[in-house]
Structure formats: structure tokens, C-alpha cells
Amino acid sequence: MTYLVTGVAGFIGFHVAQRLLQRGERVVGLDNLDSYYATALKQRRLDALKPHHNAFRFVKCDISDSAALRSAASDIAITKIVHLAAQAGVRHSIDHPEAYGKTNLIGHLNMLELARHNDALERMVYASSSSVYGANTKMPFSEDDPVEKPVSLYAASKRADELMSIAYSHLYDLPLIGLRFFTVYGPWGRPDMALWKFAKAIMQDQPIPVFNHGRMRRDFTYIDDIVSGILATVDQVPEFSNDQGHRLYNIGNNQPEELMHLIACLERELGREAMKELLPMQPGDVHETYADITRISRDYGFRPTTSLEDGVAKFVRWFKGSNAVQY
């Protein structure tokens, strides 16, 4: 059995590939190694997968290039796809909209076409986002809530991915699963995300930007829990399901935390107090996210096990030990 993992040099893709390789699976990983953040960090992730070289194959490929994508997968009997390649970043989407059309829209469409023409495919799981809920105020967010008012282009692109997937599943009987991730964090994370930025600034005695004066809540979800949920959905078939059609799931910690509590956890682990620069709300941002995980818990037994305190402690140990402050 061969798994195709897109975005394999990215934060979540790397962890998924690593877990699959550790349990003895064969993995083909695709990534375009773009410069959204340090390519050296992406290369370090790929280097960390080298001990599994006999079972891991890396192909540099931009999924928005349909011909290159078909070529990369042409000689592989792919049975399962974990599609995680995307242009990330809510705030980045405001200034660089074309990147989101290219990767998140055209790239996702190309992946659906790849799945459509792969007779051996058992299942494709793809990354959506909690951002699709926009400025909804009903908490927690449920998969049945309306998602028609995104507040960023990034959110709109992720909702478009869901709609394209629903259509392809209906037209071609494709078994597709979309996962709405809630604020993923942990070792090997992204330098543009709050936890990394805060840790780096605190260690360098620089102020940290605290938007909306800290009055924000996020359902921070540790990377190991996210990977467990991804692999459950790609590997298991719920008893009630005929494994056809399209399904959507929230995947979060089911425990929103104050932004100030995240900062306090960091301060404790780093042994330093943060210099906080209190700022107004940013365009495209939301006040709170909170995942209702009833559906994924019912269908796949998903249960997050990592508290924010433990997750931040693990992140800081990795951050210090890997000299991640350089990125």
C-alpha cells in the first residue's frame, strides 16, 4: 500500500509522513518547497525523513501544474491520498491573493482530477480549515453550521475546496473526506504562526504583537492529536458507511483557550516574561474558534489527549533543542 502525501515538507505533512513511515508504510511525498517561509526549515523536515529512505520517495512538484502532478504520480500505485499542500496564512491572503487562487483552488482541482483517474484509490483526505466558519458566534462550531460568510480569502478558498470536493464526490463516486483543522501547533511548526513568533520574540527580548488586546480564544490542537485524527479517517471505514461520498469533520481540541493563557504557558516554559504590544483586531481575524468534535469522535473514536500546557512544554523543548530561533 502506498500513501501519497502532498505538502510533505510542511508542518502537518511532515508529521503525517513520519508517522506513516514509522509504522512501516510506503510514502510518496510531494512539495514545491516554496518560499512562504524558510525553505531551509522545509529541507530539515525532509532530512528528518531520510532514515526511512527505502520506503520514502520525495518528488518536488507544484500541484497547480497539472502536467507535473500527473507525471509525479504516473508510475505509482497510489491507494490513499493525504492532501495537505496549500497556501497557508489568513493575513498573507490579504496581500497575496493570487497565491491562494493558484495553490488552493487550481491545485485542489488538480488533486481531485488525480483522484478521479486513479482506479486504485481507496480514499482521499484533504485539509480544510476552521476559518470557513468566518465570524460565526454560535459556539462550538458544528459541521452543520452555515459557512457562507468567510472573512478572509484564505477561508473562502478552503470553502471552495469543500464545494469542489462535494461536486466531484457526487459526480464520480469519489470517497473524499475534508478535515477542518483548528489552530494546529507543536514541534516543527510554522514560523509565521503565533506560538513560534512569540517564542522567538521572547527569547530575543523583543515585543510580541497581541491583537485585539489579547481578547481572543483559540481551540489550540497539538500536532500529534491532529495526525492521529488524519490517519484514523484515511485508514478506517465507519460501520455505517459504504465508504462512498463526501464527509466533513472538525478536528480540534474541543477546548478553547485564552490567547493570554497561551502566552503565560510560553513565559513559564521559557522562564522569561513577554513584552506585550497590545494591538487592535486584524483584518480577516476572528474572536474565537471552538470545535465541536462529536461527529469525528462518533465515527472514528477521535479523542485529543494533549493539554495546552503539555503541548507548549513539548514545543519549547523542541524549539530550544533544534535552534529553531534562527528561522
**What is residue 76's predicted lDDT score, i.e. its pLDDT?**
87
- Rounded to the nearest integer, the mean pLDDT of the chain is 94
Mean predicted confidence (pLDDT) in 310-324: 96
- Residue 46 domain-assigned (yes or no): yes
* pLDDT score recorded for residue 284: 78
Task: For residue range 146-201, list pLDDT tens digits in order.
Answer: 999 999 999 999 999 999 999 999 999 999 999 999 999 999 999 999 999 999 99
Flag whether 213 is in a domain. Answer: no
The verdict on residue 203 lying in a domain is no
Q: Per residue in 218-277, pLDDT tens? A: 999 999 999 999 999 999 987 655 556 899 999 999 999 999 999 999 999 999 999 999
Residue at 61 is within a domain: yes
Q: Is residue 211 part of a domain?
A: no
Q: What is the percent of the chain with per-residue pLDDT over 70, rounded to a whole number?
A: 98
Side chain identity at residue 131, one-letter code: S
CATH number of the domain bearing residue 38: 3.40.50.720
Which residue segment(s) compose the domain that 56 sits in? Answer: 2-184+222-253+291-304
Considering 3, 37, 154, 249, which one is annotated as catalytic? 154
Total domain count, the chain: 1
Q: What is the pTM of this model?
A: 0.96
pLDDT digits 0-9 by tens, 294-306: 999 999 999 999 9
Q: Check pLDDT > 90 for residue 49.
A: yes
Residue 288 clears pLDDT 60, i.e. is over it: yes
327 is catalytic: no
